[in-house]
Chain A
Amino acid sequence: MGASAFTQRAHDALADPNLKTAIDRTTGTAETKRAAAVGAFPEFQAARARGAAIKDHVIANLDHYLVEFERNAQAAGAHVHWARDKAEAAEIVTRICKDADAKLVTRAKSMLGEEIGLPHALDDAGIERVETDLAEHIIQLAHERPSHIIWPAMHRTREDVATLFFKDHHPPPDADDPASMVASARRILREKFMSADVGISGANFLIADTGATCTVTNEGNAELSTTPPRVHIVTAGIEKLVPSTDHAMALLRLLVRSATGGEVTQYTTFHSGPKRPGDADGPEEMHIVLVDNGRSRMVGDEFRQMLRCIRCGACMNHCVVYRQIGGHAYGGTYPGPMGAVLTPVLDGLAQSRDLPHACTMNGRCEEVCPVQIPLKTLLKAWRVRSWDSQQEVGPLRMGLGLWGFAARRPRLYHFGTRLALPVMRLFGKGGWIRRMPFAGGWTDTRDLPKPAARSFMSQHANHGNEGPK
């Protein structure tokens, strides 16, 4: 078996000690803070159930809420666009930018924007793009992709960022402490905020009964990206719908606690249409691009519950695999357990079959998921699809086939065990096997306990419940 692209990326990630330091700092803090926030919220389990129910209701009535949202958003003065896939979505956004004669675009962090390839599409269209989220700013300077859905630059240590800023900020930061670096980024970004032609944001919620979109941020960059420019474009997946502001609030309580351990974000902003007569500021035009990109298909298949996801990142913060290899190794827009479910939907299973398999099925992700997504079950569903579509490698199929053949014939199985154990024991020294053919996956890094001379079933066959001795 040759190394897959995923295995290679994981290998590279594991070889980078800096990456591990960066991951542990951020996810470790997130884990501790989330636990405290959940501990201080006695109704948390009930709130999770309600959150899941709200999302399930919307998914079951998506057609109704989409039309209601469109009607109310239009009534508030926004233009609503529908995009079937990522190419169409990126095309709509770049066309709006061109129609507005945009030279400079500011963008507030949005994973959907990454999903539809917006950064590239804007760059290709020759429009200057400025990422205004501090972490996205770092990503842009480093020419990278986000490695976490909440902290896109979490794979970079503070020390890394200092190096980057001293190279790319003109003038450079006054010093390499966090406050000076933030001040430097603010200096650079402030200028761009005020001169941008178009501001692009995502949305955490689309509110059907008001037609408003809602963004939550901690830096205020979404407000500065969406208010001063002439045109504001929102890109959002259709699963972001909620019936009303009350429902958005119910989900917000779960989202923020699960993501950062806070009670609310610094900024929770509702955007309802463009600037109205008499408003002090705001965009002249507001466009909302509703993106499907595989979501409506999920409504009808076994991955439906994944549409509950509110993108808090708790699953990856608590994932043993993510915490070893980080987000880039996953190779898709979304990493970690939620990414391992979504990436095969977005990029195809052939491209990403490793992801649902590179999981120990320990279940911690679904334990912390604020909307009770059965992530283990969904990952297993991908494994079934992968098996059924013959994407599992030959040796594994053969091995499991042989195992299954014997396991379904208990007499043969017990006889086989009796023969195999003494052979395996030949490889042992003392109580351990340090090396054995076909067992390198284990013995390269771990000793294998030498098996028993006689199996339990064989001992029991001879001695009954009394046992040997």
Chain B
Amino acid sequence: MTKPRVGLFVTCLVDAMRPQIGWATLRLLERAGCNVEVPRAQTCCGQPAGNSGDKRGAEKLARQVIEAFEGYDYLVGPSGSCVGQIRSYPTLFSDQGWRSRAEGLSRKSFEILGFLNDVMGWKPEGVRLDATATYHDSCSGLRELGVQEQPRALLEGVEGLQMRPLDGANVCCGFGGTFCVKYPEISTAIVSEKAANIVDTGADLLLAGDLGCLMNMAGRLHREGAATRCFHTAEVLAGMADGPAIGEEG
């Protein structure tokens, strides 16, 4: 069987804020038996424009992503929210040609954890992390892509890692993209409740599948003085959670 060619969609947040998640995703894809390429012509999926009602702005970025990635067997990224946006590209186009190209890309776009588990049938082997952790379901991955059991199943294969259930794990953390800065008071009230639930688990680590949500929760936890350390699930699975967590100096 030939190795699938995967185009890694890094996402703009991972690119700028925490490249390690990009490297973790790349490593995992390689370990799962993929040929990974990183197209240079990628920036942002267009979600900020799309969510602000700028449909034409979102459409222009969608064209760029389609052109850069449609030649691959798969597009894979470390974010349910960006992949969810890419999956919704067909709704942006009225032009039939572009719409069918968008549909083509939509069908082969995956969030990393769902891809590893559902498409590649990969399981972690020899990954060890002695810690307790809790997991937050990021909303887009959960409800747009059905990523729920996959990360939990994969994390079960990490030796030494003890998972603790999070009360309200499937409740939004209050990030919501531009929402968190447009309505900071409401966003803060929501994330404060989330932070309290996280602290209540007593877990050392908070894991999730979307950097936006993670930065929101990590930022609030740290402002409140909590000691919880935050990682993207892919970092743990790639054996890269022995270094600095989000917000820790390298």
Contact = CB atoms under 8 A, between A and B. Distances in A.
Interface of A: 7, 10-11, 14, 320-321, 324-325, 357-364, 367, 380, 382-388, 392, 396, 400-401, 403-404, 406-408, 410, 413-414, 417, 420-421, 430-432, 439-442, 444-452, 454-457, 459-461, 465, 467
Interface stretch (B9-17, B125-133, B154-162, B196-204): B9-17
B38 A457 contact: yes
A447 B215 CA distance: 9
B174 interface: yes
B139 interface: yes
A414 B39 CA distance: 12
A446 B188 CA distance: 8
Contacts of A420: 16
A457 B143 contact: no
A31 B25 CA distance: 36
B190 interface: yes
B16 A417 contact: yes
Interface string B10-30: 101011111110110010001
A359 B17 contact: no
A442 B48 contact: no
B197 to A, nearest CB: 13
A461 B10 CA distance: 13
Nearest to B39: A410
A450 B189 contact: no
B95 interface: no
B107 interface: no
A217 to B, nearest CB: 31
B244 interface: yes
Interface of B: 10, 12, 14-20, 22-23, 26, 30, 36, 38, 40-44, 46, 48-55, 57, 60-61, 64, 139-140, 143-144, 170-172, 174-191, 215-216, 218-220, 222-223, 244, 246-250
Given A431-B247, A447-B223, A358 B186 contact: yes
Contacts of B170: 364
A181 to B, nearest CB: 30
A455 B19 CA distance: 6
A465 B171 contact: no
B43 A413 contact: yes
A245 B13 CA distance: 53
A10 B185 contact: yes
B43 A465 contact: no
A10 B186 contact: yes
Contacts of B23: 456, 459, 467
A360 B139 contact: yes
Contact of B180 (A14, A362, A441, A451): A441
A456 B220 contact: no
Given A387-B55, A400-B48, A430-B249, A410 B43 contact: yes
Contact of A11 (B30, B57, B185, B219): B185
B191 A446 contact: yes
A452 B53 contact: no
Contacts of B40: 410, 414, 457, 461
A444 B187 CA distance: 12
B176 A361 contact: yes
Contact of A410 (B41, B178, B215, B249): B41
A184 B181 CA distance: 47
A449 B247 contact: yes
Nearest to A389: B53
A356 to B, nearest CB: 8
A142 to B, nearest CB: 24
A14 B193 CA distance: 13
A410 B42 contact: yes
Contacts of A380: 50-51, 53
Contacts of B10: 456-457
Contacts of B177: 360-361
A456 B179 contact: no
A33 to B, nearest CB: 17
A445 B184 contact: yes
Given A403-B44, A457-B10, A452 B19 contact: yes
A460 to B, nearest CB: 5
A103 B43 CA distance: 69
14 contacts: A14-B186, A361-B51, A404-B60, A410-B64, A441-B184, A442-B181, A446-B220, A449-B18, A449-B219, A451-B17, A456-B10, A456-B14, A459-B19, A467-B23
A400 B57 contact: yes
